[in-house]
Amino acid sequence: MVAAATRQQIVEAADRLFYERGFEATSFADIAGTVGLSRGNFYYHFKTKDELLDAVITHRLLKTRSMLDGWEAKAEAPDERILSFVNLLIVNQTKIMAHGCPVGTLCGELAKLDHIAKSRAAELFDLFRHWLSRQFRAFGREAEADALAMHILMRSQGVATLAAAYCDEIFVRNEVENMRAWLAAQRPGTPVFPETHSQQHS
Amino acid sequence: MVAAATRQQIVEAADRLFYERGFEATSFADIAGTVGLSRGNFYYHFKTKDELLDAVITHRLLKTRSMLDGWEAKAEAPDERILSFVNLLIVNQTKIMAHGCPVGTLCGELAKLDHIAKSRAAELFDLFRHWLSRQFRAFGREAEADALAMHILMRSQGVATLAAAYCDEIFVRNEVENMRAWLAAQRPGTPVFPETHSQQHS
DNA sequence: TAGGTATTAGGACAATTGACCTAGAAGCGT
DNA sequence: ACGCTTCTAGGTCAATTGTCCTAATACCTA
């Protein structure tokens, strides 16, 4: 097999395992077992674990950028695009309830480890942040675009954390509904509109 | 020294290190070095690392319960009590920006490790959840009390996660202000009141 | 002070980790 | 078929992990 393909397999396996088990808890042996390679052979593709982590983050950055570009290419209204982001909580519900948000948990782990790659992992947040900011600007909330982007990013992180702690999909649906209502209330020129709270939660 | 005192020292050192570095990344040697004990002596106090984790969680449950009881003992209005919870984000800002929320990050790590103690760590969330729920009931939002409690818990988790990723205290202050406004809007019988968004965020 | 219990230090243990080396297999252009 | 580069398997290495044992010390009671 050509090196680039093997490398890609390794990165994708590491991507999944870093998400499911965490960076530190995933060993080279785990990834080797998944890919079907010998342990020792890793050194040919990645000199250190940090180098592998860097490749995984780069891979995630590319995947994320391409997803966001895809959403932006669609001829949708900006608020509908923002809803695409919110809907990630529903689309990836099962994984999120099991392992949290891939971005949030990675940044959290790297923060605790005081790892050099922490700032690079935070670029994943930046991708969402600036994309959301752009949508809010197009939405007509130029001045507050970044704060609104941070707000919705914050909410999705909070939902993901509690979803993983409680494994409660009704809560997730409920809060996604709240985010939709909140977003509707952000339309500029809309008369005052209180944030509603659906109460289907058990 | 009496065993109970040493045990307490160990638990408190482990509590801090588990928070700052994470459960897995903290070794017995780290804790021993902090407390000033020999590594081997640990086995006398805790047979396994899981037993130590359990003691740490128990310790956190007691600390948290006592904090919440203290807030509830004060003759305050329920919404002011809820603000005490929100203010934790300000009071512990430095630590949160460095290591995230102690509860959220522990639950997240244990979820990834598929650890038996995960549900016990989630009891920490339950403590806050039920306490907040009680305040919202006293606030006159009987029917939606639990959903409102989960909502504010979710927000504090989201703020903590992004605070750790961005180390941005303006963001924290901004979102705390938003939570205050949101809370004011939850007063029953209050005319519609839109969630405001302060825009001091850089 | 004597005797027994409670507590400690220091080290041994196997297992696992990331890192690294080397011999050789596989692939490819000539 | 040749030679050269690319790639791989298996193993070694020191360090660190949680666990566990044992001899010695500290402490308290009688």
Q: Which CATH number does the domain housing residue B69 bear?
A: 1.10.357.10
Question: Largest Cα–Cα distance in chain A?
Answer: 64
Q: Do B122 and A165 touch (CB under 8 A)?
A: yes
A202 inside domain:
no
How many residues does this entry show for chain B?
202
Could you tell me the residue range of the domain that residue B20 belongs to? 1-47
Dist. CA A75–CA A71, nearest whole Å: 9
A66 inside domain:
yes
Query: SS3 of A166, please?
Result: helix
B161 inside domain:
yes
Judge if A22 and A104 occupy the same domain. Answer: no
Dist. CA A111–CA A117, nearest whole Å: 9
- Which chain B residues 12-51 have CB under 7 A to strand D? 26-30, 39-44, 47-50
How many domains in chain A?
2
How many residues does this entry show for chain A?
202
Judge if B74 and B109 occupy the same domain. Answer: yes
Judge if A67 and A1 occupy the same domain. Answer: no
Judge if A39 and A63 occupy the same domain. Answer: no
Judge if A38 and A63 occupy the same domain. Answer: no
Judge if B53 and B133 occupy the same domain. Answer: yes
pLDDT digits (tens, 9 = 90+) for A92-145: 999 999 999 999 999 999 999 999 999 999 999 999 999 999 999 999 999 999
Judge if B8 and B83 occupy the same domain. Answer: no
Judge if A27 and A110 occupy the same domain. Answer: no
Chain B residues whose beta carbon lies within 8 Å of the beta carbon of residue A144: 197, 199
Taking only the tens of pLDDT, chain A with its 202 residues reads 677 789 999 999 999 999 999 999 999 999 999 999 988 888 999 999 999 999 999 999 999 999 999 999 998 999 999 999 999 999 999 999 999 999 999 999 999 999 999 999 999 999 999 999 999 999 999 999 999 999 999 999 999 999 999 999 999 999 999 999 999 999 886 644 444 454 443 3
Judge if A90 and A138 occupy the same domain. Answer: yes
Measure A134 CA to nearest chain B CA, in Å: 16
Judge if A87 and A177 occupy the same domain. Answer: yes
pLDDT digits (tens, 9 = 90+) for B180-190: 999 999 988 66
Q: Do A175 and B154 touch (CB under 8 A)?
A: yes
Measure B50 CA to nearest chain A CA, in Å: 16
CA of B43 vs C1' of D25, distance in Å? 18
